[in-house]
Every structure is written in C-alpha cells, then in structure tokens.
Amino acid sequence: MQNSHNDSPLITDVTGVILAGGRSTRMGRDKATLMVDGRTLFARTREMLCGIFARVIISGDRPDLATAEVPCVPDIYPGSALGGLHSALQAASTAWIFAVPCDLAHPDAGLVRFLLNHRHDCDLVVPRTAEGLEPVFALYHKNCLPRMEEMLARGDFRIYDFYRQVRACYIDAHELPAGWRRALLNLNTPEDVRRLEKKEAP
C-alpha cells in the first residue's frame, strides 16, 4: 500500500495514534475542532498520520471524530495522557504506537519519520528539549503496558515517573531535524491561537 503524499509505502508495524481525550479546559473549547488555515487541527493531524501509517486510531471517547477507517478508543483510565497512551497501546494490533496530540498547529511527517528511525533496543522514543520532554509526541512499545497498568491502577498518572521505569531513548534538541520547534508547537489557550494567527497573517 502506498500513501498519497509520496512514494514511501505505509508503515504497517506501528499504529498512528491521535490523542484526543483531553478536556481542553485552558482553551475553553474543543481544541480538536480549532481551525488553522481553513482546516481543523484534528483533520491536519489525521491527514499527516494517514500518510505514514497503515493503521491510525483516536485515543479518547470521540465518536464525533471517528470514522470506519480511523476509529476511536475510549480511555480505560480517563483523565490523563498516561491513560490515553495506555488505552492506545492496549487497542493497537502492532507492537509500537506513535502518539501525536490533536492540538499541533503544524504536524510534520518529517519529524515523525525521524523518530521512527530510533526505535531499537528501547521501550519508548521521546524528544527532549530545553522545555522538557514531549511525552505526547513519542513512540511507545507494548513493553510499557505492565508499568503503565500498575501506575494507573493505583491512581498515579505522573508520566515522568513512568519514564524512569522503562528503557527510554531520549532524542535531544541538537539531534532533532531543523524545524522541530514549529512541528511541536501546540495550542493550549486562546492567546496561543491569537499569537499564531498574528504571526502567520499575510
């Protein structure tokens, strides 16, 4: 199977995951349906992932966003990024998932493919910048499930605690391809949206 954007075959041993289970409390409205350049943030992310992976799912109880091709998976332990990752890993038919948030302004297939090349001898691959880790733009292996399950079952949702319990591959900022800052820009507040619109106005 080929994708529509280039001649690369779709990746079949990793599932693309759109994290859409958040409550968007700081934004005050559903971030997935925010419009950028005439398309919703969700649609932009879905298109990017569907151009890379043969299988894409939505992590979160979002039947309004789901289709037969891109179904949604409700969180078993709702209310946290860790819970969303856990549910996606449980649902995936592949050993790996690549998780992406639904609020990226400029989802970048190049950065996804770059991180995919580092999935060896580890349980997860995550960018690490001066701002910290990017746990919702990262690769996770099913080896992570037992530790996630233990934490969630006892009500511990702190994803950074989880990272210390598995083999994590950290990709530091100086190793990331050019344009990573733009690719990882997410929109959390109305001010973020206004800043983006002002910056990108013609």
pLDDT at position 202, please? 45
For residue 121, give the nearest of 180, 188, 63, 169 by alpha carbon. Answer: 169
pLDDT confidence bin for 66, thresholds 50/70/90: very high
User: Which residues are paired to 38 by β-bridges?
Assistant: none
pLDDT in tens, 77-118: 988 899 999 999 999 999 999 999 988 888 899 999 999 999
Residues in the chain: 202
C-alpha to C-alpha distance for 82 and 44, rounded to whole angstroms: 23
118: burial class by Cβ within 10 Å (0-12, 13-18, 19+)? middle
User: Residue 11 phi/psi, 5° resolution?
Assistant: -80, 130
DSSP 8-state secondary structure symbol assigned to residue 148 = H
C-alpha to C-alpha distance for 3 and 23, rounded to whole angstroms: 32
pLDDT at position 41, please? 87
pLDDT in tens, 164-191: 999 999 999 999 999 898 888 875 565 6
pLDDT at position 27, please? 45
C-alpha to C-alpha distance for 128 and 120, rounded to whole angstroms: 17
